[in-house]
Structure 1
Amino acid sequence: MRKILISALALLSAYGCGPKPSSPAAPAYLIYVTNERSGDVSIIDPETRREVGRMAIGKRPRGLVISPDKRFLYVAVSGSPIGGPGVDESALPPPDKAADGIVVINLASRQVVKTLRGVSDPEQIAISPDGERLYVASEDSGKLLVISRGGEILSEIAVGGEPEGLSVSPKGDTILATSEEEHTVSILRGQPLAAVARVEVGARPRNAVFVNDTKAVVPGENDASLSVVDLAAAKRLRTIALPKSDRPMGVVKWDDHTILVTTGRGGRLVRVDLDASGESVVASAAVGPRPWGLAVSPDRKLAVTANGSSNDITLVDPVTFKVLGHIAVGKGPWGVAAG
């Protein structure tokens, strides 16, 4: 009887009727990287540490944000030519305004659903906790745009020349918008949303992060500073000086007392103790040339930097600050999100 059973199982297996091996489990999350110079988004599996997809989406993709329900990825694309410090902008070609917009990607199908138009030269994006409103920094207009999920522009608010960094409070009642040109951060509240204060910070602020409901940190790229801002009093509490070789750009809250910061030309990721009376940098990892974008994985086991000059990302253990590996992506990686 046993021989008959074994023979039957072998026959079933030979004709593909036997038990099939289970498919590999899908990763708990993915990493998305905007590649400014190649005009695409890289999709990374953090478990296999491989690029598992790449989507061409338009010119100069930079800022990106994942919707709270994890269904959509919003990416800012711009037809303005690449400039920056030291570049003679009068010699650049004219901007292609038809290329400006916010690309909406369905993460399940990895397909572009639509592109939201009507925003000029968008650079960074933030989203409300309920996913109903997008906040977009329009770099060449000097405005913060509030856009509905469906694409309707709800309001336009002046926040200073060359706005870039955006951050939304956990409750969604306060928005921060930095001005590279005027070295300020605007604090916006209310319905309708309005700027209630503007605080002077470091030189060329390109990001901001909430530490709690009443305190934020704003990196100053050009003077290697971190400005700690009291949001209730609308004033700078203190300035943390990093080494002059650093160019702080990306910033993420780690806990109520520390933040993670990418240092651009400094080539490293650092952890900064905001309450330290002495040395504020308590951990550092060399990650590669010009790390800008920064994200922490949902399980808090990885910090990811986008390294613009080496066309790769770096994975770092955010507790030990050990570099875990590098993954090649497209050209000019700029922003990164994990979810």
Structure 2
Amino acid sequence: MNRRSTIAMGFGFLLASCSKEVKGPAAYRIYVTNEVSGDLSVIDSATMAVIATVPLGKRPRGIHASPDGKFIYVALSGSPIAGPGVDESTLPPPDKSADGIGVFDVAQNKLLRVIHSGSDPENFDISHDGKYLYVSNEDVGGASMLDLSTEKVLATFKTGDEPEGVQMTPDGKFVWVTSEDAGTVAVIDTAARTVVKTIPVGRRPRSIAFTPDSTQAWVNAENDGTVTLVDAAKGAIVETIELGKPGVIKPMAVLLSRDAQKLYVSTGRGGQVIILDTATRKVDATIEVGKRPWGIALSPDGKTLFSANGPSNDLSVVDLATKTVTNKIKLAGSPWGVITLQP
């Protein structure tokens, strides 16, 4: 299971904006970053209603919670939105003052500050002890290691152009960073603080999911319409699975179930979430969720999947037992990333 997809840590409070107390193990919160409107949607899982919308800054995208569940970190960027192949000379200049990692206090339900984390942060991961962030810096082709105690960048790494996905291995020994432009994954040794390996994985990789024992990783290849299973120790491809016609099915985020028996894949312009059986490596189900699903997350019990759909401006709620969309929560501002937090 992706360690960040659900954070089952201490969280004993009620948001001031919630009109009714929610009791029982099912009560948790869903947090969604909205890239265009620059804010965070807070959703009550009991009612599936938006109970707060909190301004964050420009282009909030990557989102993860601290290991203790007290803070939520969000990647913010002042670079203008641009799709693949866009002539950047036609875009407005980036606002570098807006770049950083927003620190959101869960109990107070507000943004505390923004930490400098290198240029144009898009996504990141958190060390298991909660001391460091590893951040992809999209417009400079690298990644930064950020010390949260000093709020200083300790090291930078060349990863290949347009880095996006960042994932630490469950054993904490390595951090993998995808390069959309190079079609590779850079492997950072966390002790040596250096890139030790570069693995070709396919065209336009964006996301990584490790098996719990750290021995294998799933990586998407958006422009190939595939996901690739990689032997993490050898840095070698085990198998590449076609999910659909390239250009029609565009795998984006990958997320493993807690038991690692299912791989969930959002498909961007394909409008679907695909469920892959990791034992047979065959597609188990295809679920229509909305326009351009990007970020996905699981409920704390693993029974529900949430899909952030940018152009749809909504969050789809998928019952994994029936493999159906049971609700669509209306949002605004192009939802990008999603996490859940349980009391």
TM-score by length of 2: 0.89
Distance 1:70-1:91 versus aligned 2 partners, 3 A rule: same
CA displacement at 1:202 relative to structure 2: 1.4
Looking at structure 2, the residues matched to 115 and 295 of structure 1 have their Cα atoms a distance apart, in angstroms, of 24
Structure 2 CA distance for aligned equivalents of residues 85 and 324 of structure 1: 33
CA deviation vs aligned residue, 1:49-108 (integer Å, no higher than 9, x gap): 100100111111000101110000000110000001242222001101011010000000
Matched, 1:25 2:23: yes
Q: Is the 8 A contact 1:38 1:332 kept in 2?
A: yes
Shift of 1:130: 1.4
CA displacement at 1:154 relative to structure 2: 1.4
Residue 3 (structure 2) aligns with? none
For 2:244 and 2:228, how far apart are their aligned partners in 1?
15
Higher mean C-alpha deviation, range 299-308 or range 249-258: 249-258
Q: Aligned ranges for residues 74-113 of structure 1 at < 5 Å?
A: 74-113=73-112
Offset from partner CA, 1:94-125 (integer Å, 9 cap, x none): 10101101000000001212110141100002
Are the counterparts in 2 of residues 124 and 165 from structure 1 also a CA contact under 8 Å? Answer: yes
**Matches of 2:262 and 2:214 in 1, distance apart?**
15
Task: Name the CA distance, whole Å, in 2 between partners of 1:321 and 1:262.
Answer: 14
Distance (whole Å) between structure 2 residues aligned to residue 85 and residue 319 of structure 1: 36
Once residues 70 and 38 of structure 1 are traced to their aligned partners in structure 2, the CA distance between those partners, rounded to angstroms, is 25
Aligned residues: percent identity? Answer: 44
Aligned to 1:289: 291
Task: State the distance in 1 between where 2:260 and 2:323 align.
Answer: 19
Which has the greater radius of gyration? 1
Does the 8 Å CA contact 1:187/1:231 hold for their aligned counterparts? no
Match of 1:238 in 2: 239
Task: Measure, in 1, the Cα distance between the counterparts of 2:117 and 2:126.
Answer: 17
Count of residue pairs brought into register by the alignment: 316
What is the deviation of 1:240?
A: 0.5
What is aligned with 1:169? 169
Please show how residues 41-52 of structure 1 align to structure 2 within 5 Å.
41-52=40-51
Aligned partners of 1:331 and 1:197: how far apart in 2? 38
SS in 2 for 1:249: coil
1:288-330: CA deviation from partner (whole Å, max 9, x where unpaired): 1100001111111210000011100001012321211000112
Unmatched 5+ stretches in structure 2 = 1-19
Give 2:331's aligned residue: 329
* Contact 2:252/2:267 (<8 A) preserved: yes
SS in structure 2 at match of 1:222 = helix
Q: Distance in 1 between matches of 2:22 and 2:256?
A: 33
The equivalent of 1:317 in structure 2 is 319
Show the counterpart of 1:258: 262
Contact 2:76 2:101 in 1 (8 A): yes
Counterpart of 1:282, as a letter, is D
Task: Render the CA deviation track for 1:215-249: whole Å, top value 9, x for unaligned.
Answer: 00110111111111111111111110111121111
Instruction: For residues 108-153 of structure 1, give each alpha carbon's deviation from its aligned partner in whole angstroms, at most 9, with x where no partner exists.
Output: 0012121101411000021111111111100011111111123121
CA distance in 1, matches of 2:146, 2:202: 29
Q: Judging changes above 3 Å, is the alpha-carbon distance between structure 1 residues 24 and 316 closer, same or farther for their aligned structure 2 residues? A: closer
Q: Does 1:271 align with 2:279?
A: no
Asked if the contact 2:61/2:76 (under 8 Å) is kept, the reply is yes
Q: After TM superposition, what 4+ stretches of structure 1 lie above 4 angstroms from structure 2?
A: none
How far is 1:23 from its partner? Answer: 4.5
TM-score, normalised on structure 1? Answer: 0.90
SS of alignment partner, residue 115 of structure 1: strand
User: 2:220 matched to which residue of 1?
Assistant: 219
Find the aligned partners of 2:269 and 2:329 in 1 and give their Cα distance.
19
Q: Structure 1 residues 118 and 256 mapped into 2: Cα distance closer, same or farther (>3 Å)? A: closer
The 5 Å alignment of 1:152-191 reads: 152-191=152-191
| Secondary structure of the corresponding residue to residue 140 of structure 1 | helix
SS of corresponding position for 2:111: strand
Residues 224 and 293 of structure 1: CA distance in aligned 2, closer, same or farther (over 3 Å): same
